[in-house]
Structure 1
Amino acid sequence: MSSEEKFDAIVVGGGLAGSAAALAMARGGLDVMLVERGKFCGAKNTSGGRLYGHSLEKLVPNFAEEAPIERKITQERLSLMTAGGALSFQYESENLHNLKYPSYSVLRSKFDKWLADKAEEEGVMVATGLLVDELVVEDGKVILADGVNSLLAQKLGMKQELAAKDVAVGVKEVIELGEDVINERFGLRNGEGAAWMIAGDPTGGNLGGGFIYTNKTSLSVGIVTTISDIGRVDVSVPDMVERMKNHPSVAPFVKGGKLAEYSAHLVTEGGLKMMPELVRDGVIVTGDAAAMVVNLGYTVRGMDLAIESGRLAGEAAVMAKKRNDFSAASLSVYKTMLDGSFVMKLMKQYQNLPGLLEDHLIFNDIPKMADEFAGMVYKVEGGNPVALPMIGLSVLANNGGLNGLFGLGKKAWEAM
């Protein structure tokens, strides 16, 4: 790149949001540069591994035919775990096989590079191995997609420093097992995949939970826990992963696996209430940098929000270019489009969810109650039979009674 070369827009961050924005702008006729600090786009991206495909279909129709996906998710699992037990739910149905827009397990290092390559094919200049630590916004236009801890947005005064209660640390291992072993242990056929979310014991009752995603020949296994909770229990973050892998309900699935990758990253947890300023003169913030992540417990939504918001950011820049006006007022069309999209509708619907989780009820009391209830239901020793409603009342009585149940219901309603 020569010192005289000019661009209509520069995207900082080669993750899904950044590449989506760059691709959308290139298709709109803009000269775009995509800057990534890693050796290649995806080199620094280590998040869990599930992509809901609907938002990417708008950019790359039928992307799964060419993208490096691992498996199509056809099996959902959810477990409430105590130290010695787990109440688990498993859902398999033709409904999952026949979705118009399926979800997929992906390895971000491969997948992000593929999407950046798609942008490059459209004319985007991809510059890797470059760290951007300062911005001079004059005639240039910048889209910030530089991840959860967007220091550039902070330096511009668009984003506050992260609060410990609003951000979590995620730790992930990629464990090689082989395709046939995974298929046998999870009851899958080639190309089919499972997503398994776990609450309770893996984090020692801290805010957060565990996850397992089946890749083609490996498992993505990890935990996420809120930073403000670290030190609350006598379990270190790396030990939480070991705790989950050694749990009786998980150990048979990872047995004999070989560690292929170990990584950690930050995850936003605060939802809408921690969302930064999205536009300024010449600047748009998108994806993880804009805190666009929603953790619902049974699933985590981040990648599809990143791609959609990145695409909309790119389209907003194209509109601004046509007007030759990159002021905050002109770029505010980005916020208008976001408000009409599933991104902000989802963020607004669950804006109170983080507050519901702060008392640890879901991570301590609920798994304990589930274990106690299941243990009584399946206990058959020849004594007097007990009706299910009475078992439920007994469990409630041992765990705060109806007041506790009504309190949980009230909080759940407020979270929605």
Structure 2
Amino acid sequence: MTEYAGPAAVPVRGAAVPATRFDVVVVGAGPAGSAAALELARAGHRVALVERGAFPGAKNVYGGVVYGRILDELVPRWWEEAPVQRWVTRRQTMLLTPTQALTVDFRTEAWGEPPYNGATTHRAEFDAWLAGKAEAAGAELITSTVVTGLLLDSAGRVSGVRTDRPDGDLGAKVVIACDGVNSFLAKQAGMYPPGQLEHTTLGVKETLALPRETLEERFGVRGRHGVDIEMVGCTRGIPGGGFLYTNLDSVSIGVVLGLEGLGESKIRPEQLIAELKAHPAIAPLVRGGELTEYAAHLIPEGGYRTMPRLTGDGMLVSGDAAAMCLAAGIWLEGVNFAIGSGMYAGRAAAEALSTGDTTAAGLAGYERRLRDSFVLADHRKLAGAPELLLGERMQTKYPAMVCDLVENLFQVNNPAPKPGLRKLARRSARQHGVRLRDLAKDAIAGFRAYG
């Protein structure tokens, strides 16, 4: 995690005390913000949950699965009421070339039973549900409101937020910034390090409607069981990957692309999605699907080494605003890290309010809780994974090398004798310009990241 003092904040200093005062203002009613507001409301604090959309989830996009174990602690037996589309009981990882596909396919019935493992959801439904929990606990939900800056007291401590509403300043002892990737508020407070563009990706997806019976037949599932497919080698060498997952009567398909590589390529994301939908391994799954949604979302994929400073005087940063999306190939997770970080932010803020110390020192319980939980433990462990996975060899050489190796392994060339695996591996590596020392280097890096 980057230690960065940053420039002086630019918000309103020494502003008049706003008429509307809260103990805590939470900015952003996504999973992180709603989890923080829920914890604080349950602790009896007056909390405002401010959302720029017309309702929670109105502007939120993601490209994957909600993993609910952290919800066990926040909303016990959440699976009985959460708006789930399908329970993921089948996971696939694909290596693709324009004409080949190598798939690792795993399925288990255990993931289709309580307490479940992962679920596909629509963010407009899921975020509204979780924000509703916070509101029912006593949080004040303020929608269609844009937070335009921070308020500082005469000592330079965060003392609330300014909004785009007339007389819309909201005073608070603590502000929790859950305002998404490249957080405007965290930047304004000087908590963000420079150079975030190279660690940011653009996720673009289409949702294609399919009859439920057709979908279940094509993907080999039944009832509420579903499939999550992650792909590498489908982005024309632009650092990133592809995904496909099933909803109840639709599929979501898309790509995640490094912003710098995308800009240099001059390729439009929708071109890559069109190519992915036409791929021989994917086309039979999405054939006849009717486009019902096209959406895009910035994703912080740099991980632990690119996180901003998380705690300041009167301020905490959580969720995507804190770069807490885990992009580690095997694990592509965001919502659970947002919920976890928001929950711990809420608890830390409540603790600081109880002691009367909302300085950075008084809020230090936030980072302590994160370190003691999966949130920072997983990010620290997998700190090197994004660099490895988004590297040039992983993106442009390894998928084709492995696919050719497997094709040659299974190809029968009688009457010629079968070549040995070692010979085939060397031939494939040489054919795709992969040096053995680079292969060994990446293997060691992978072992260190995942071992």
Quick one: which of 182, 187, 194 aligns to 2:220? 187
Aligned residues: 413
SS of the aligned residue for 1:337 comes to helix
- 1:415 is the counterpart of 2:430: no
In 2, Cα distance between equivalents of 1:43 and 1:73:
24
In 1, Cα distance between equivalents of 2:39 and 2:263:
43
Quick one: which of 405, 411, 428 aligns to 1:373? 405
Shift of 1:386: 2.2
Q: 1:162 to 1:257 in 2, by over 3 A?
A: farther
SS of the aligned residue for 1:158 comes to coil
In 2, Cα distance between equivalents of 1:97 and 1:409:
34
- 1:49 is the counterpart of 2:83: no
Structure 1 partner of 2:167: none
Q: 1:305 to 1:122 in 2, by over 3 A?
A: same
Q: 1:161 to 1:12 in 2, by over 3 A?
A: farther
Q: Conserved in 1, the CA contact under 8 Å of 2:110 and 2:116? A: no
Q: Conserved in 1, the CA contact under 8 Å of 2:206 and 2:254? A: yes
Q: Conserved in 1, the CA contact under 8 Å of 2:196 and 2:306? A: no
Q: Deviations over 1:379-403 (max 9, x none)?
A: 2242322233332232233343432
Q: Deviations over 1:199-225 (max 9, x none)?
A: 00x211221100111111111111101
Structure 2 partner of 1:164: 197
Quick one: which of 216, 220, 244 aligns to 2:276? 244
- 1:198 is the counterpart of 2:231: yes
Q: Deviations over 1:152-203 (max 9, x none)?
A: 1101111135522110011011111021111000000110010000000x21
- Structure 2 residue runs of 5 or longer lacking an equivalent are 1-17, 152-157, 160-171
What amino acid does structure 2 have at the position aligned with 1:301? E
- 1:109 is the counterpart of 2:124: yes
Identify the range of structure 1 (249-258 vs 357-366) with the bigger mean alpha-carbon deviation.
Answer: 357-366
Q: Conserved in 1, the CA contact under 8 Å of 2:93 and 2:231? A: yes
User: Normalization by structure 1: what TM-score?
Assistant: 0.95
Structure 2 partner of 1:262: 294
Shift of 1:407: 2.2
- 1:173 is the counterpart of 2:206: yes
In 1, Cα distance between equivalents of 2:390 and 2:328:
14
What amino acid does structure 2 have at the position aligned with 1:191? R
- 1:25 is the counterpart of 2:57: no
Q: Conserved in 1, the CA contact under 8 Å of 2:182 and 2:196? A: no
What amino acid does structure 1 have at the position aligned with 2:237? G
Q: 1:299 to 1:242 in 2, by over 3 A?
A: farther
What amino acid does structure 1 have at the position aligned with 2:440? F
What amino acid does structure 1 have at the position aligned with 2:210? L
Q: Deviations over 1:12-34 (max 9, x none)?
A: 00100000000010011111110
Q: 1:81 to 1:323 in 2, by over 3 A?
A: same
Structure 1 partner of 2:438: 404
Shift of 1:97: 3.8
Q: Deviations over 1:84-109 (max 9, x none)?
A: 11111111124434574411011111
* Residue identity (%): 38
In 2, Cα distance between equivalents of 1:101 and 1:186:
19
- 1:208 is the counterpart of 2:240: yes
In 2, Cα distance between equivalents of 1:160 and 1:80:
34
Shift of 1:270: 1.0
Runs of 4+ in structure 1 deviating by more than 4 angstroms, as ranges, are: 98-101
In 1, Cα distance between equivalents of 2:213 and 2:415:
45
Structure 2 partner of 1:34: 49
What amino acid does structure 2 have at the position aligned with 1:170? G
What amino acid does structure 1 have at the position aligned with 2:445? K
In 2, Cα distance between equivalents of 1:99 and 1:369:
40
Shift of 1:230: 1.2
In 1, Cα distance between equivalents of 2:331 and 2:52:
29
In 1, Cα distance between equivalents of 2:293 and 2:430:
45
In 2, Cα distance between equivalents of 1:161 and 1:140:
28
Structure 2 partner of 1:317: 349
In 2, Cα distance between equivalents of 1:369 and 1:98:
38
Q: 1:106 to 1:320 in 2, by over 3 A?
A: same
Quick one: which of 349, 357, 361 aligns to 1:329? 361
In 2, Cα distance between equivalents of 1:250 and 1:300:
20
SS of the aligned residue for 1:230 comes to helix
Q: Conserved in 2, the CA contact under 8 Å of 1:204 and 1:235? A: no
In 2, Cα distance between equivalents of 1:124 and 1:304:
21
Structure 1 partner of 2:85: 70
SS of the aligned residue for 1:306 comes to helix
In 2, Cα distance between equivalents of 1:354 and 1:213:
22
In 2, Cα distance between equivalents of 1:74 and 1:118:
27
What amino acid does structure 2 have at the position aligned with 1:364? T
User: Normalization by structure 2: what TM-score?
Assistant: 0.88
Q: Deviations over 1:260-293 (max 9, x none)?
A: 1111010001111111111111111001000001
Q: Conserved in 2, the CA contact under 8 Å of 1:171 and 1:223? A: yes
Q: 1:410 to 1:215 in 2, by over 3 A?
A: same
Shift of 1:350: 1.0
Shift of 1:353: 1.8
Instruction: Map 1:124-143 onto structure 2 (within 5 A).
Output: 124-136=139-151, 137-138=158-159, 140-143=173-176
SS of the aligned residue for 1:48 comes to coil
